């Protein structure tokens, strides 16, 4: 089974000419906006092989000179593939690390005990324990030193680096706030190793990487100055969630609000990224600004939308002068005039709009996103958590039902860890009260459970994991809310499926990898329903990764059916939605479903049925808006963009991109 198909989704075909320049002259032209040398690879595997080769060459060069190679190493998720490749080279190619000296880039503080999950422990598991580094050459920061000793300790850590001649290499990722190491926004260029408070975004990201739910509040980190002193700095980033922060770090002015941007003034720093992480760099997103383009429909659409936004004009009012003055004269040569390009893109976008997401019966579907037949269709909406369906496509979901389609909703996970303890207490009060009123207070099981759970929650520490009983109750709360929302949207409860995929049921933020059991559960449902439409989460920016794993489970199941040449799949279309964490770029939208003010209000009501996910929801990410607010803002934003481009004016729009099985 192929279980990582979401990583192979490519919305735009990027020509190699934009990221693989043939010579130095081409590179200088393409990278004119980039202030740090940036190397783009088609895949993570290709990227880490290139970095591993450079690092090993430096290690072996120092070996030949009889010297140590001093490396500062972080533990972010971007570094994991690199460590795996270095371990592979050690095992398969006998690469030796005996002359390597390692300094841990940062450690969490204060660590409760020596057994606490730490950055150093993770570094050992990923790399140090699997190669032949001399244990005497490994130096890490002590996360248990007394607070009054931290300043002196940090000074000694810096001195120890200097006793080995300074850092040869620093290996690091980039945080979502642009932090390097644990240097948060506001860190100065002159900062040395020090104690720093971790902000909420970095805590969330670090907890995902480290595998623990509750991190200490602080970190002792190498400072920006320490990192900048390294003779070679490698910054790694993979995946679309890093695209925006990479563009800012590489192309915008260096600033203490984005510590990674300081690498612009390093004399030997390089950024290594894959194509998804490079998506917002000028040479990838707006290549017409730096070179001659290989034009395709999506790139033309992207260019015209950009031009409209730049000069604040709708599509049909763009002139030859507008194109010539903004680097798009190639399109005039290609199409003859602005008018011809304008009409093409206007019609292209107009054809994405449909009020019939399941296809309009007895209508010409030549220019419609969905086919007219069969009608009605069997539809499965896969929802990673028990509210993603209504957050991301609540209006479309409601319209599919109203237009007569057989709509099934499949909730892939229980969502139990996203329920606050106060919700459990509230439901326990109800159950206990119900027991007393209608069962004469005679149910000893309920009384005992009520007492035990109340005691557990009252004594619960921040690091304590919920019991299975509490997780079950939290899961029941989410199920009840999901059923209420489905009933509100007129979906019969026998078409509401709770899959409870096993990978999720760890009781912790960090989940297990996807397994065959997860995929078999999805397979059973799609083989039973044999859908004509599948809606699946394309919103892979979920900070805890649940969306990605759930989407991988669905795509893997579809892949199995494709291999089996399943008949139902020949007449099925798969649509990807977004909404909770991001929205589709307009150049990628293939179906836009308009919502009236009444429909948007109904969508909001659907989301509000999930009461446990309102103000008390534990995982809102780094966006302070509640999920219904995010959803409405994004839907209105999409409609507003269509309006400004001179297309139809609607209250809101939900957008979708088709997935073609690989």
Q: Kindly give the residue spans of alpha helices, DSSP state H, lying in 68-173.
A: 80-93, 119-126, 150-163
pLDDT given for residue 345 in this prediction? 96
The rounded distance, in Å, linking the Cα atoms of 628 and 607 is 6
Please give the torsion angle defined by the CA atoms of residues 561, 566, 570 and 574, in that order, rounded to the nearest 10 degrees.
-30
Task: Categorize the per-residue pLDDT at 439 as very low, low, confident or very high, splitting at 50, 70 and 90.
Answer: confident
What are 602-617's pLDDT values in tens digits? 999 999 999 998 865 5
Region 47-69 average pLDDT: 97
Q: What does the alpha-carbon distance between residue 142 and residue 649 come to, in Å, rounded to a whole number? A: 60
Distance between CA 133 and CA 99 in Å, rounded? 7
For 426-433, which contacts have Cβ atoms below 8 Å and span 24 or more sequence positions? 427/473, 427/476, 427/477, 428/453, 428/454, 428/473
Contact indicator for 271, 36 with CB cutoff of 8 Å: yes
Sign of the Cα pseudo-torsion (27, 31, 36, 39, in order): negative
Report pLDDT for 618.
Answer: 56
Does residue 210 surpass a pLDDT of 60?
A: no
Residue 516 clears pLDDT 60, i.e. is over it: yes
pLDDT digits (tens, 9 = 90+) for 361-404: 999 999 999 999 999 999 999 999 999 999 999 999 999 999 99
CB 652 within 8 A of CB 635: yes
Instruction: Please check the confidence at residue 514 and state whether its pLDDT lies above 80.
Output: yes
- Predicted confidence (pLDDT) at residue 270 exceeds the cutoff of 90: yes
Please report the pLDDT score of residue 207 as a whole number.
Answer: 66
Q: Reply yes or no on whether the pLDDT at 200 is more than 90.
A: no
* Rounded mean pLDDT, 7-16: 77
pLDDT of 373 reads 94
Residue 12 has pLDDT above 90, yes or no: no
Q: Which of 451, 400, 450, 408 is closest to 430 using CA atoms?
A: 450
Helix (H, G, I), strand (E, B) or coil at 375: coil
- Look at residue 126 and tell me whether its pLDDT is greater than 80: yes
Mean pLDDT of the chain: 92
Per the model's pLDDT, the better-predicted residue between 115 and 631 turns out to be 631
Closest CA to 94 of 132, 61, 64, 65: 132
pLDDT given for residue 512 in this prediction: 81
Q: Yes or no: say if 63 and 101 are a contact pair by the CB < 8 Å rule.
A: no
pLDDT of residue 91: 96
Candidate from 95-99, 306-310, 629-633 with smallest mean pLDDT: 629-633
| Mean of pLDDT values over 277-286 | 95
The predicted-structure confidence for 77-112, as pLDDT tens digits, reads as follows 899 999 999 999 999 999 999 999 999 999 999 988
Is the pLDDT confidence value at 468 over 70? yes
pLDDT band for position 351 (cuts 50, 70, 90): very high
Residue 7: pLDDT above 80? Answer: no
Task: Tell me which of 34, 184, 585, 587 is the catalytic residue.
Answer: 184
pLDDT band at 621 (very low <50, low <70, confident <90, very high): low
Q: What is the mean pLDDT of residues 565-587?
A: 90
| 184 catalytically annotated | yes
Cα dist. 48→43, 88, 215, 586, 608 in Å? Answer: 9, 12, 29, 32, 44
Between CA 430 and CA 476 the distance in angstroms is 14
pTM of the predicted structure, to 2 decimals: 0.85
pLDDT of residue 499: 97
CB atoms under 10 Å from CB of 372, counted, come to 16
Cis-peptide, bond into residue 623, ω within 30° of zero? no
Backbone angles phi, psi at 350, to 5 degrees: -60, -35
Percent of the chain past pLDDT 70, that is, above it, reads 95
pLDDT for 66 beyond 80: yes
Structure-token match 């030859």, residue found: 320
What integer pLDDT is reported at residue 116 of this predicted model? 75
Give 415's pLDDT tier (boundaries 50, 70, 90): very high
Q: Is the dihedral of CA 650, 654, 657, 659 positive or negative?
A: negative
Return the pLDDT at 324.
96
- In the predicted structure, residue 30 carries a pLDDT above the cut 60: yes
Comparing 28-32, 233-237, 540-544, the range with the smallest average pLDDT is 540-544
Task: Please report, to the nearest 10 degrees, the dihedral formed by the alpha carbons of residues 140, 144, 145, 146 taken in order.
Answer: 160
Instruction: Determine how β-strand 138-139 pairs with β-strand 232-237.
Output: unpaired
Q: Quick: pLDDT tens for 137-158.
A: 999 999 999 999 999 999 999 9
Q: pLDDT at position 251, please?
A: 98
The torsion of the CA quartet 341, 346, 347, 353, rounded to 10 degrees, works out to 150
Q: What is the pLDDT of residue 366?
A: 92
Dist. CA 8–CA 43, nearest whole Å = 9
The tokens of 309 are what?
């936004």
Q: Which residue has the tokens 């980190």?
A: 221
pLDDT attached to residue 462: 66
CA angle 72, 192, 111 (to 5 degrees): 70
- Is residue 622 over pLDDT 70? no
Q: Using H for helix, E for strand and C for coil, what is the string for 308-329?
A: HHHHCCCHHHCCHHHHHHCCCH
The CA distance from 575 to 582, in Å, is: 16
Q: Is residue 202 helix, strand or coil?
A: helix
């Amino acid at each position: 089974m192929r279980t990582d198909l979401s990583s192979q989704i490519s919305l735009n075909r990027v020509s190699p000419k934009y990221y693989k320049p043939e010579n130095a002259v081409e590179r200088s032209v393409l990278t004119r906006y980039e202030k740090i040398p940036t190397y783009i690879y088609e895949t993570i595997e290709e990227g880490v092989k290139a970095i591993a080769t450079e690092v090993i060459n430096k290690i072996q060069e120092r070996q030949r000179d009889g010297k140590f190679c001093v490396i500062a190493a972080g533990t972010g998720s971007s570094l994991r593939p690199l460590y795996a490749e270095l371990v592979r080279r050690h095992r398969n190619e006998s690469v030796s690390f005996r002359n390597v000296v390692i300094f841990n880039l940062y450690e969490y503080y204060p660590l409760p005990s020596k057994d606490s999950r730490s950055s150093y422990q993770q570094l050992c598991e990923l790399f140090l324990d699997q190669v032949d580094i001399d244990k005497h050459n490994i130096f890490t920061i002590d996360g248990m030193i007394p607070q009054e000793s931290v300043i002196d300790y940090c000074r000694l850590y810096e001195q120890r680096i200097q006793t080995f001649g300074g850092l040869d290499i620093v290996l690091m990722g980039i945080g979502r706030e642009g932090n390097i190491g644990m240097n948060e926004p506001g860190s100065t260029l002159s900062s040395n190793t020090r104690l720093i408070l971790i902000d909420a975004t970095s805590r969330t990201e670090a907890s995902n990487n480290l595998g623990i739910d509750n991190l200490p509040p602080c970190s002792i980190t190498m400072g920006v100055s320490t990192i900048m002193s390294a003779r070679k700095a490698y910054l790694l980033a993979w995946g679309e969630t890093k695209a925006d922060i990479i563009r800012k770090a590489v192309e915008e002015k260096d600033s203490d609000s984005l510590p990674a941007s300081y690498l612009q003034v390093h004399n030997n720093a390089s950024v290594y990224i894959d194509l998804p992480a490079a998506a917002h760099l000028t040479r990838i997103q707006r290549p017409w600004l730096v070179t001659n383009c290989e034009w395709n429909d999506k790139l033309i659409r992207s260019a015209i939308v950009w031009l409209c936004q730049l000069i604040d004009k709708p599509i049909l009012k763009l002139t030859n002068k507008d194109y010539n003055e903004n680097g798009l004269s190639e399109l005039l040569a290609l199409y003859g005039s602005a008018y011809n390009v304008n009409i093409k893109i206007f019609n292209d976008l107009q054809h994405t709009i449909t009020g019939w997401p399941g296809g309009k019966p007895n209508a010409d579907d030549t220019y419609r996103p969905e086919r007219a037949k069969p009608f009605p269709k069997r539809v499965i909406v896969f929802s990673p958590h028990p509210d993603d369906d209504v957050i991301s496509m609540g209006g479309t979901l409601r319209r599919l039902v109203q237009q007569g389609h057989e709509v099934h909703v499949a909730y892939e996970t229980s969502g139990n860890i996203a329920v606050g303890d106060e919700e459990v207490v509230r439901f326990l009060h109800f159950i206990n009260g119900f027991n007393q009123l209608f069962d004469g207070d005679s149910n000893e099981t309920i009384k005992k459970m009520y007492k035990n759970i109340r005691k557990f929650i009252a004594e619960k520490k921040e690091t304590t994991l919920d019991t299975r009983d509490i997780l079950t109750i939290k899961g029941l709360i989410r199920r009840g809310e999901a059923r209420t929302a489905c009933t509100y949207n007129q979906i019969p409860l026998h078409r509401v499926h709770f899959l409870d995929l096993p990978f999720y049921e760890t009781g912790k933020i960090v989940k297990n990898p996807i397994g065959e059991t997860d995929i078999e559960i999805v397979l059973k449902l799609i083989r039973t329903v044999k859908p004509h439409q599948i809606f699946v989460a394309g919103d892979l920016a979920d900070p805890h990764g649940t969306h990605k794993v759930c989407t991988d489970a669905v795509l893997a199941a579809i892949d199995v059916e494709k291999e089996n040449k399943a008949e139902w799949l020949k007449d099925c279309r798969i649509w990807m939605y977004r909404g909770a964490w991001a929205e589709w770029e307009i150049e990628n939208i293939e179906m836009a479903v308009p919502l009236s003010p009444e429909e948007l209000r109904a969508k909001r009501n659907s989301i509000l049925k999930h009461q446990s996910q309102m103000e008390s929801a534990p995982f809102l990410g780094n966006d302070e808006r509640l999920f219904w607010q995010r959803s409405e803002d994004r839907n209105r934003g999409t409609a507003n963009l269509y309006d400004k481009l001179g297309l139809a004016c609607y209250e809101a729009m939900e957008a979708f991109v088709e997935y073609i099985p690989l």
